[in-house]
Structure formats: structure tokens, C-alpha cells
Amino acid sequence: MDVSTKPRPAAPARPSARERILAAAGDIAHEVGPANMSLDAVAARAGVSKGGLLYHFPAKAQLLEALIVDHLRHFEQELGDHRNEKGGLANILRSYLDVSMVDCARKAPPASGVLAAIVQHPEMMAPITRFKRQMLDRLKADAGEESTALILFLAMEGMRSMKLFNADILSAEETGRAVEALCDLIDSTRRPANPA
């Protein structure tokens, strides 16, 4: 076969300006904290003009809120990907645990920056609160017992909060034991009850 007639593989799609802005803002927020993130620095790193950035995000608060929504969207995507990788066999409780642990292991922005951004713009909590309520409802619907979903959700939120406040006092061994206990709890809700 003549190699010149082979179709070329499609080039990966170039990220849009909006995607590049969000990626740059996320990187800078991790480096210096959301409160210290400047729009000029984001525009420069994204390779767009300041006007181009302002076209997509007319104010810093809108950019920060978009970062939050983007993070929640990525979490949801990772949750779906995890369940698909397991052939649809993984229940949402186990997928939520696994994806949450990966999420907690990522570098978090400095707590003071996150809190300052939320204090300045409390409306940024709205998408987070909505997402968490929907996630808890999904976990409860999937659990054999509602208490399992509540324990799992509260444990993961506790780990996230410790990370946010830079107060993670658990050793790797303690975290591992906690995750094992949560896995056992999830597995126990999936076993059929023994007949008496």
C-alpha cells in the first residue's frame, strides 16, 4: 500500500481561548492563591489579550466562579469515567470514594486565598452547595442504607476541609485505614442479608 494515500490522523483540537484562560487561571490560583491572582497574569499565561480575557470573563469574580464550576464539572466527568472503566459495575459509592481520594491528593490552593475569594464573593458558594446536595442525594439513592452514604459523604468532606485549611493531621497509614473501613462499609451494604 502506498503510504502517501493513508489518511492522516486528525490533529487534536486546540483548546479554545476560554479553555486556555481557565487552565491558566487554575495554575495561577494554585501557585499564588485565588485572592492574589491577577487578570493580567492570567491573560499573559493563556496567550490572550486582556480584552480577550475580559470578553469571556468581564470580572475576576466571574473567572473564579467559572473555575469552581469547571472543577465540579471535571469531578463529575472523572466519576463517570471511573464507573465506565469498571464496566458499569462500580456503584456510585465506591466511585465517589475513589475519585474523592484522587481529588484530595491533588495540590490545593492556599486556604487563605480560597477563603478570601469566597468572603469577597459569597455567591461563589452557590454552585458548590448545589453540587454537594445533588451528590449526596445520588449517594443516598444508590446506598443500601442511607447511613452509609452519609458516613462516606461526611468523611470525604472532612478530608477535603482538612486539605483546604492545611490541617491534614492524618498519616498516610491512618488515611489508608480510614479508606479501608469505608470500603468495607460500602461492600457490606451490597451483600445480601443472610436468612435467619
The pTM score is: 0.78
Grid cell in block for residue 136: 449526596
What's the mean per-residue pLDDT of the chain?
Answer: 85
Residue 13 φ/ψ, nearest 5 degrees: -65, 135
Question: Which one has a higher pLDDT value, 2 or 161?
Answer: 161
Is 115 in a helix, a strand, or coil?
A: helix
User: CATH: 3.90.1150.10, 1.10.10.60, 1.10.3720.10, 3.40.50.720. Which one for 15-58?
Assistant: 1.10.10.60
Axis crossing angle, helix 60-85 with helix 39-46, rounded to the nearest 10: 50
pLDDT in tens, 112-149: 566 767 777 888 888 999 999 999 999 998 877 799 99
